[in-house]
Chain A
Amino acid sequence: MSSSAIFILDLKGKVIIARNYRGDIDMSVIDRFMPLLMEKEEEGMVTPVLVHPEVTFVFIKHTNIYLVSSCRTNVNVTLVLSFLYKCIEVFNEYFKDVEEESVRDNFVVIYELLDEMMDFGFPQTTESRILQEYITQEGHKLENAPRPPMAVTNAVSWRSEGIKYRKNEVFLDVIESVNMLASANGTVLQSEIVGVVKMRVYLTGMPELRLGLNDKVLFEGSGRGKSKSVELEDVKFHQCVRLSRFDNDRTISFIPPDGSFELMSYRLNTVVKPLIWIETSVERHSHSRVEYMIKAKSQFKRRSTANNVEVIIPVPSDADSPKFKTSIGSVRYTPEQSAFVWTIKSFPGGKEYLLSAHFSLPSVVSEESEGRPPIKVKFEIPYFTTSGIQVRYLKIIEKSGYQALPWVRYITQNGEYQMRMK
């Protein structure tokens, strides 16, 4: 059912922090982790779960540390992995960058957190904002030691009571990432939009919020089928949202955590015309040179503009002496990632730009075969959502009856936006 122990290791496999939760394993078993991982790496069979005769290791790697959970039974791996990721998230709230040195620097508070976040292998409270209310590093005396906030065990386990703001404000960011995969001959193999609604909430008390979107299911149900609406394929909500309510009547109602959090995410499979399309022609004269002709096309409406567009085009790792020619933007060669990057600060809709590049190749061909990384594109288009999703209203009800201002922003950006090369 649950983890026997949690370890934080450095890259060499040395233990930085170890917390034994169930006392059913020999803690020195962790010494077997690194050799096992290396062995699997050599075979090219590394998976996030490693089986050893005595225990099973479930692990993630973050910056230069490993978070390892060892288990003896048929544990819920998904639970363990989600918990490990949650640990990183919480540590991050406590001391920013989570890496070897910062873990050592904060080992006392990490022990306290591990003690509070998991008991006997069962994850407990993992809301960092709530934890910060009673796990601090201030050396309290018993008399005025903090008590567990009500929120720890409440149904609303993510917000404490008694929060006050002079100016009540809510910021909503609707961010859509476009994932696209195109084949070398230009067909779009896969295209999806992954959207998130992020909130920054500065509200007094225990406000009750209701968010209205132009959700197709809702519109059809209420006879407004003709208005412009969006069919959300799959919606995921922060735990503050009442899921059964949404399931019943598609109402998104919740008491928000304080500060910033991700309210919801959604996914749409609708195939849209790729927002930025890259055409390449490569002429390769082995042993001497390789030439690229790149055409970038923006295929969204003229009144929108994409900002900070970066087109990353891979080149052979042994290419050298780059020469570029372009009418717009700047180009730089980044040998460390075997690519060149074409940056266009502002790229209005319905335009087309060209770039030509020339590289020399060594006369001796290297033995190692190289993979064929795809072209990647990064961009940001403000005031625009690909799906057409809209926030219709955000109702804020609090018993003191204050007026709060909601602010909404829309932005579309690249997700995994890749085009394979020939």
Chain B
Amino acid sequence: MTDSKYFTTTKKGEIFELKTELNSDKKEKKREAVKKVIASMTVGKDVSALFPDVVNCMQTDNVELKKLVYLYLMNYAKSQPDLAIMAVNTFVKDCEDPNPLIRALAVRTMGCIRVEKITEYLCEPLRKCMKDEDPYVRKTAAVCVAKLHDMNPTLVEEQGFVELLNDLLSDANPMVVANAVAALTEINEQRPLIEVNSQMVNKLLTALNECTEWGQVFILDALADYSPRDEREAQNICERISPRLAHANAAVVLSTVKVLMKLIELLPNDSEFITQLIRKLAPPMVTLLSAEPEIQYVALRNINLIVQKRPDILKQEMKVFFVKYNDPIYVKMEKLDIMIRLAQQSNIAQVLSELKEYATEVDVDFVRKSVRAIGRCAIKVEQSSERCVATLLELIQTKVNYVVQEAVVVIKDIFRKYPNRYESIISTLCENLDTLDEPEARASMIWIIGEYAERIDNADELLESFLDGFHDENTQVQLQLLTAVVKLFLKRPQDTQQLVQKVLSLATQDSDNPDLRDRGYIYWRLLSADPVAAKQVVLAEKPLISEETDLLEPSLLDQLICHIGSLASVYHKPPNSFIDAARQPLRQINNGISSGAPTGLLDTVAHSTTSTTNSAQPTVIPAQDTLIADLLSLDLNSSIPTGASATGGFPAPSASGGLEDLLGGIGGDGLMGDNSSPQDMGHGAAMAAASANAGMGGLADLFGSTIPSATGGLNLPKQLWLDASKAKGMQLEGSVIRRNGRILMDMTITNKAMQAMSGFAVQLNKNSFGLFPAEAIQMPAPLLPGQSINVSVPCNTGGPVQRMDPLTNLQV
């Protein structure tokens, strides 16, 4: 007999029929009716009208029927809160049942009924169940506390459930301990009520050996949040959890890796212990690649993080990342990424021959990525660049359209890394000019022609051929074409004057695109006013592109390492972006305090999504460097930052790059204030500077007053960098400007709290512009309530540069 028959009745009057059946005297008929109700509920029919009738069946001596009624209750109690009260008595009675299965069932179900009135009745039975003699009931009750907390946190605190839960951590039964840990972790996530201490850790480590695989994951995840007191404790934890690496369950393995990766940071780097531990880490991760494809995917995303953090762990394991023919595409793509990360001189030959193999497969996305990977190898491993270029040329010979286009794009990058080395291949590239139809490939090709115009005899003809359809081109291509023609003109002024005039007029007079028009006007003016200067600007030496282009920002990386195995680690986004906004605010500040480690900083990036949009509205900073960098227009809107350090300028995203690519990376670290100071404030002082790319407004300004920044008259309105409500009363406004050729950071610090502030400081993080304070930031202290001070900090740009895509979110 199968259950599918319950799904079949769909005729009219069904509800009425069910009602009669539910009230039938025959038990068998009743049970059948409840099954039908559940079946209807499952397929999404509304059977809430039957609520009283179903609840009437609750008082039954049949366990199966009871479970079904409970299931119904969980689904519909919310829509019928008043009727749900009817069920309370039965629940309370069931919590006293001699059979532990029934007791547990009752307390489990009751916790799932999210009706305010019922929660009140839940407290007493729950308290009893937490001290039940049967561990099965206790482990269920432990989870129930988390449920209750989710609905009514104050009730849980008032009724002392947190303490009871804490007691369960010392329970003799491992499963009870595991569930209690899971519940506590969950509660702590929303509001840190119980701090994990070393005594607790010891209990957990003992339970770890005895509980189920899932319980082990709960315990390990809880351990990941714990910061050991000293090296000895850290080492002890490592020793006791590392056997878990041999567990068959992938979740246990990854959670173990997570805790180990975090603790390794706390141990002296060169110790024998670390070397041993690191040796232990690689094999289990490799074995995860024989798991189910979905788990492989998660493992690969995490390995990507681990390889960035500690490249040495997997450096010998290149071969296991070779792509198999029947791997799902998402696994293939991730493997490729890791292959590039692990590529080095010793294995580059193997990697290249694999990549070449992949580039002839059929899946277009995979092939493109493989071609790109070859380019990245060339840039990363200098000794291999020659072979990479040769491989790319071979691929171009295949004449497969998308392969050729992708190859052109990466060859442009190779030129930028190794100028004046492979120009001989330009002629081959030019042969394929006609087949390029994707904007990025066209723009790359045009850039190459412009850059090497003096060595290409027919550069003018080639560029001219693009001009005919100028207005149909993508903006990216138009901008590139404009720059390329100007370069050509500066290199060969004799015979290209007509061409340059044509392109300038196309850009300035016939175009609706402000970016294009502005760039056109700048060139025009430059060329007409001072051709020598124009040459200096347009043909300036370009910075080389960097090798590692897609590394994660280090503080984010550290944070993700602490969340290995989670959604954040799969998406490489801060964990908070996956947490409900509604449940967020409570824990913000606490987090900032408790984390002295570098990870602390980003714990609170949660505001980013909303606050960036608010506070990072474009304020234009027309610094001269910005302008120049933009004119160079190296950035083809590719993912490669222009490497600002070499010129000491700001890399300005090309106009088409959009506003999100702002200067916003100057995130200040919330420097921990002096914790001993009674006010204990000023913790989260931070800032983020935002500027806009030189859009239309900025350029208009520029022309109006011939580079005002050089004369130093411009004062920008300050922006709110840090809101008082987020930093215990300290408000920080500021702007970054250039005055008399120096970069200054103007800040206004206001104390909006009730007490005087002292012992705070502002620290500039290592950022992608190499911006750092030239002199110590003077903070007059103490700052009285309501008082504001203005501080100007001169900055230099030669500081340590963080190679990364500019941060776009505000870090507080």
Contacts and interface: CB of A to CB of B under 8 A. Distances in A.
B521 interface: no
Given A139-B64, A141-B62, A194-B290, A134 B101 contact: yes
Contacts of B64: 108, 112, 137, 139-140
Interface stretch (B240-248, B430-438, B447-455, B647-655): B240-248
B322 A181 contact: yes
A114 to B, nearest CB: 9
Contacts of A247: 242-243, 246
- Interface size range of chain A in the complex: 35 or more
Contacts of B101: 134, 145-148
B174 A155 contact: yes
Interface stretch (A115-123, A213-221, A301-309, A386-394): A115-123
A416 interface: yes
B565 A76 contact: yes
B610 to A, nearest CB: 14
A79 B215 CA distance: 11
A106 interface: yes
B68 A105 contact: no
A262 B247 CA distance: 12
A120 B147 contact: yes
Contacts of B522: none
A296 B295 CA distance: 35
A112 B3 CA distance: 14
B187 to A, nearest CB: 10
Given A82-B251, A145-B102, A267 B243 contact: no
A196 to B, nearest CB: 10
A127 B214 CA distance: 11
Given A23-B114, A44-B365, A145-B63, A139 B565 contact: no
Interface string B352-372: 011001001111110000000
A20 interface: yes
B4 A142 contact: no
A1 B224 CA distance: 13
Contacts of A123: 214
A127 B212 CA distance: 9
A242 interface: yes
Nearest to B176: A153
B566 A267 contact: no
Nearest to A1: B186
Contact of B75 (A2, A20, A112, A152): A20
B554 interface: no
B529 interface: no
Given A23-B78, A76-B566, A247-B242, A105 B2 contact: yes
Nearest to A47: B330
A73 B62 contact: no
Interface in B142-158: 143-144, 146-147, 150
A208 to B, nearest CB: 16
A17 interface: yes
Contact of A120 (B143, B214, B240, B360): B143
Contacts of B364: 44
B567 A267 contact: no
A239 B248 contact: yes
Interface stretch (B37-45, B679-687, B696-704, B797-805): B37-45
B518 interface: no
B247 A23 contact: no
Interface stretch (B46-54, B132-140, B749-757, B779-787): B132-140
Contact of A48 (B44, B100, B330, B354): B330
A106 B3 contact: yes
Nearest to B316: A269
A214 to B, nearest CB: 18
Contacts of B221: 1, 76
A237 B247 contact: yes
B35 A108 contact: yes
Given A1-B185, A155-B210, A73 B298 contact: no
A79 B242 contact: no
B63 A142 contact: yes
A32 to B, nearest CB: 14
B580 A72 contact: yes
A161 to B, nearest CB: 15
Contacts of A106: 2-3
Interface stretch (B116-124, B414-422, B571-579): B571-579
A124 B214 contact: yes
Nearest to A73: B579
Nearest to A124: B214
A192 B286 CA distance: 11
A119 B108 contact: yes
Contact of B67 (A71, A115, A239, A244): A115
Given A104-B7, A119-B108, A233-B283, A74 B575 contact: yes
B563 A74 contact: yes
B62 A142 contact: yes
A239 B283 contact: no
Contact of A153 (B102, B173, B286): B173
Contacts of A22: 150
B579 A74 contact: yes
Nearest to B240: A244
Contact of B43 (A15, A47, A153): A15
Contacts of B92: none
A189 B255 CA distance: 31
12 contacts: A74-B567, A74-B568, A76-B566, A78-B295, A104-B4, A123-B214, A145-B101, A147-B99, A147-B100, A233-B286, A247-B243, A418-B324
Nearest 7 Cβ contacts at the A-B interface: A234-B283, A105-B2, A48-B294, A247-B243, A243-B243, A155-B210, A123-B214
Interface of B: 2-4, 6-7, 31, 35, 38-39, 42-44, 61-65, 67-68, 71, 74-75, 78, 97, 99-102, 104, 108, 111-112, 114, 134-136, 139-140, 143-144, 146-147, 150, 173-176, 179, 182, 185-186, 189, 209-214, 217-218, 221, 240, 242-244, 246-251, 253-255, 283-284, 286-287, 290, 292-295, 297-299, 319-320, 322, 324-326, 329-330, 350, 353-354, 357, 360-365, 563, 565-571, 575-576, 578-580
Interface of A: 1-2, 14-18, 20-24, 44-49, 51, 56, 60, 71-79, 81-83, 85, 101, 104-108, 111-112, 115, 119-120, 122-127, 134, 137, 139-143, 145-148, 152-155, 157, 179, 181, 183-184, 189-190, 192, 194, 233-239, 242-244, 246-247, 262, 264-265, 267, 369-374, 416, 418, 420
Given A48-B298, A236-B247, A238-B248, 10 more contacts: A75-B578, A85-B292, A107-B39, A108-B68, A124-B214, A139-B62, A154-B175, A234-B284, A236-B248, A418-B324
